[in-house]
Chains A and B, each alone.
Chain A
């Protein structure tokens, strides 16, 4: 009965969404801002990946607020979760498949994460995606060997330093007489690894911050006592 009612509710929701979107001219709008950015960004910012140009150069302040939101969420989750009980016996090691896979995948995930972060201004991806890959890389060994504890203080230190570096680069632009978080060091050659000014540095800071934050949160969640 409950399932039937939830299906009915879903059908009603779909009908409502269709009714709302029917009169909207989907797909015919002229993206004025997008076209302008497409034309201006290669010369102004020098990032081959235009998404990065928008995220870090044109909307750098939004990215800072996004990091703040993530930080607040992780902090709140850390408060809500219990402290790990030291006397409780940890779970035994995982099976052979997970153990072998975690040993095999850890370096590969590490390289993939760093590649995605460092090439954020050239190819799709960037600090957020690469940071999550890094977090998963550090969490995988913990999943295979639950008895192991990670160094939370080290992760907090990396996270704090990365966040401070992001703001520091933004303040350096202000010292230079530009707006907060404006790109520094010129644009460089379009498509080269060392190009787009301070954008790669900003993305490294974002990647380290996101990675250490999420790895700490996942480890915290895994360390709390399992019920039942």
Chain B
């Protein structure tokens, strides 16, 4: 159990650092949502299913969607072939 938690926490830390090292905004957003997903897993392991549910719905889904729409609105998405 402990090694699994350690693995998850290091994954979360790696993604959190990747958020501000990545140049592409969409890639940084993906890393951010991985942080939220892993955090919700940790909450579930810590027997807080309510908080885990809130985290996965608000942090991973809604938060990422808001950021994605904001990136599109500001024209910062470098998706390559499409404008």
Interface residues of A (CB under 8 A from B): 3, 6, 10, 49, 51, 116, 124-126, 128-129, 132-133, 135-136, 139, 214, 218, 221-222, 224-228
Q: Which residues on the A side are within 8 Å of B69 (C-beta)? A: 218, 221-222
CA distance A218 to B64 in the complex (A): 12
Give the interface centre of B21, B50, B52, B70 by most chain A CB atoms within 10 Å: B50
With A221-B66, A228-B83 in contact, do A124 and B73 touch (Cβ < 8 Å)? no
**Cβ-defined contact, B50 with A135, below 8 A:** no
Interface residues of B (CB under 8 A from A): 17, 20-21, 49-50, 52-54, 57-58, 61-62, 65-66, 69-70, 72-75, 83
Tell me if B's interface is mostly helix, strand, loop or mixed.
Answer: helix
Q: Which residues on the B side are within 8 Å of A136 (C-beta)? A: 57, 61-62, 65
**Cβ-defined contact, A132 with B57, below 8 A:** yes
**Cβ-defined contact, B58 with A125, below 8 A:** no
CA distance A25 to B66 in the complex (A): 37
Q: Which residues on the A side are within 8 Å of B66 (C-beta)? A: 218, 221
